[in-house]
Amino acid sequence: MSTTTENVINHYINGVETPGTGTGTKPIYNPATGQVTAELRLADKADLDTTVAIARAAADTWGDISLAKRTAVLFKFRELVASHIEELAQLITAEHGKVLADAKGEIGRGLEVIEYACGIPTLLKGDYSDQVSTGIDVFSFREPLGVVAGITPFNFPVMVPLWMAPMAIATGNAFILKPSGNVPSAAMLLAELFKEAGLPDGVFQVLHGDRDTISGLLTHPDVDGISFVGSTPVAQHITEVATAHGKRVQALGGAKNHAIILPDADLDNAADHLAAAAFGSAGQRCMAISVAVAVGDAADLLVTKVKERALEIRVKDGTAPDADMGPVITPASKDFILKTVTEAEAAGATLVVDGRDLVVPGHEDGFWVGPTIIDHVKTEMAAYTEEIFGPVLVVVRVETLEEGIKLINANPYGNGTAIFTSSGAAARKFQRSVDVGMIGINVPLPVPVAYYSFGGWKASLFGDKHIYGPEGVSFYTRGKVITSRWPETHHASGASYNFPSN
Ligand code: NAD
């Protein structure tokens, strides 16, 4: 990726990289080394107004472009993203820290959404009812909202923008991406790839900024919709401000995902999946399993087996070919994780694996936390109530499946959950009883494929619509219903002043 000044990350406005007029900057770190690698430009009010005005004009023309031409751009974009996986993954790992194979995994899930968006001619088909009354037909179609802004989190620098942008653009909108200020570079490459795919300038733009920039997007009269993914307090704030300003909003929030392990489960299989779902990406996934709910006799053996796996995890710079897990995102995140673990231990929980003092040779300044398992956690402890967002698995012991379900339903979050069992009846009871949007049965990270939609319940999502898939099409469009009469000749029947009936 090119930058106009070395180690400075610019905005991408109207088809070109530009420093804009804002004078603020923010340092970008490599979390594995703790070193500053670049300075990120931050937009000012003029940059925001320029970007929105360009998006407005671009939306007016792009929304009128034929479905055939939109689809051709998306197909080309899909090919370009696929052929730049290596480069995108390097950018992700350098700023996020996750291991390269994991970075490629998130790009793969983003590609699936682009592929789904390539089917937009079918997805936008309307309805038609012939002769609903004599000589009258009714039909419907959907139109783009106009200008949509996406505000995205640090933990999936490519996948989450691709949950939004291909869907918004396929449906005829102009899209402004405000990426996380911790991981901005991959978004810039996506912008270049959109341009190379033939997307007209201004339809996809990247604006880096701080809270003022976000406020500007939430309140700007020319922004029609907001897609947000991030933590719950921010999701709630975004929803309140943007809806008060008349925007359509979907805001996905944080999570505390529980997995119930029944005694009849294959415990080796469950332990493999639990370790992967708790410690993969250093636990910094919104679908990470952070609470293992061990039922009855399952607990002791399960904890032993997950411990064995945790101790084998190779924590290294994500670019190392044999790395299983990288660092956490910031020193502040590390401090919060360590504090929460220390408090749980002080409150009587059992530290089964302690990752607090991990040192990675040659990377002493990186933001490291090793895999950590805390057993006998109580629901009043911060280790249970807080979204730790680090490589920490807490184990809560219960006696029955019903008790486990009650625990999940009492939790304020409802993003994802899983059950490990060999009983179909137990799994069915679980899937019908939990107040959670995405459920895995012997599947730890049940992220829906692109032709379903992704979304949690309760404090994990504000707004009516889940993201991507059919609900994504619906979110980025507004319906029109046309009632039409084309009389062959005019029969003067006089005006009727009653409500029309068919
Ligand atoms: P975050 O909420 O701190 O930031 C998300 C975005 O909001 C960023 O672009 C950031 O710049 C902006 N932001 C931060 N504070 C803001 C404020 N006060 N006002 C306005 N904007 C603000 O989240 P993060 O730390 O980048 O990402 C991790 C969080 O995202 C976790 O809580 C995780 O569960 C959640 N997440 C949820 C999903 C999901 O699908 N539900 C997916 C990925 C991540």
Unique residue bearing structure tokens 């490599």:
30
Supply the pLDDT for residue 500.
84
Q: What is the pLDDT of the chain when averaged over all its residues?
A: 97
Atom of ligand 1 nearest to the CA of 253: 41
What's the rounded mean pLDDT across residues 396-422? Answer: 98
Atom of ligand 1 nearest to the CA of 329: 25
Task: Give pTM, 2 decimals.
Answer: 0.97
Q: Where are the beta strands (DSSP E) in 377-463?
A: 392-398, 413-414, 416-420, 438-441, 457-458, 461-462
Confidence of residue 3 (pLDDT cuts 50, 70, 90): very low
5-61: pLDDT as tens digits: 469 999 999 999 999 999 999 999 999 999 999 999 999 999 999 999 999 999 999
Residue ranges of alpha helices (H) inside 371-468 are 382-385, 401-410, 424-433
Confidence of residue 144 (pLDDT cuts 50, 70, 90): very high
Atom of ligand 1 nearest to the CA of 233: 2
Tokens of 165: 């942008």
268-313: pLDDT as tens digits: 999 999 999 999 999 999 999 999 999 999 999 999 999 999 999 9
Supply the pLDDT for residue 492.
67
Unique residue bearing structure tokens 């919709």:
225
Supply the pLDDT for residue 1.
41
Sign of CA dihedral 230, 231, 236, 241: negative
Pocket of ligand 1 (CB under 6 A): 151-156, 160, 178, 180-181, 211, 214, 229-231, 234, 237, 252-255, 286, 387, 389, 415, 456, 460
Closest residue (by CA) to atom 40 of ligand 1? Answer: 252
Domains for the chain: give ranges and CATH numbers: 8-253+460-481 (3.40.605.10), 257-441 (3.40.309.10)
Name the residue among 227, 201, 244, 188 with its Cα closest to residue 51: 201
286: amino acid identity, one letter: C
Best residue among 213, 286, 436 to mutate for probing ligand 1's pocket (most ligand atoms within 8 Å of CB) is 286
Q: Does 213 have pLDDT greater than 70? A: yes
Supply the pLDDT for residue 217.
98
What count of Cα atoms within 13 Å lies in the side-chain half-sphere of residue 137? 8
Supply the pLDDT for residue 491.
64
Unique residue bearing structure tokens 């320029």:
50
Catalytic residue among 73, 286, 325, 374: 286
Best residue among 214, 232, 436 to mutate for probing ligand 1's pocket (most ligand atoms within 8 Å of CB) is 214
Q: Does 4 have pLDDT greater than 50? A: no
Q: Calculate how far, in angstroms, residue 219's C-alpha sits from the geometric centre of ligand 1.
A: 19
Confidence of residue 344 (pLDDT cuts 50, 70, 90): very high
Supply the pLDDT for residue 502.
78
Supply the pLDDT for residue 443.
97
Q: Which DSSP state fits 499? A: P
Sign of CA dihedral 296, 298, 304, 307: negative
Atom of ligand 1 nearest to the CA of 152: 9
57-70: pLDDT as tens digits: 999 999 999 999 99
> How many other C-beta atoms are found inside a 10 Å radius of the C-beta of residue 400?
11
Name the residue among 106, 100, 154, 89 with its Cα closest to residue 328: 154
Confidence of residue 246 (pLDDT cuts 50, 70, 90): very high
CA-based radius of gyration for the chain: 25
The Cα–Cα gap between 220 and 49 comes to 8
15: amino acid identity, one letter: G
Supply the pLDDT for residue 6.
67
Q: Which DSSP state fits 466? A: -
56-105: pLDDT as tens digits: 999 999 999 999 999 999 999 999 999 999 999 999 999 999 999 999 99
Closest residue (by CA) to atom 27 of ligand 1? Answer: 153
DSSP string, 153-221: -SS-TTHHHHHHHHHHHHTT-EEEEE--TTS-HHHHHHHHHHHHTTPPTTSEEE----HHHHHHHHH-T
Percent of the chain with pLDDT strictly greater than 70: 98
373-392: pLDDT as tens digits: 999 999 999 999 999 999 99
Question: Catalytic: 118?
Answer: no
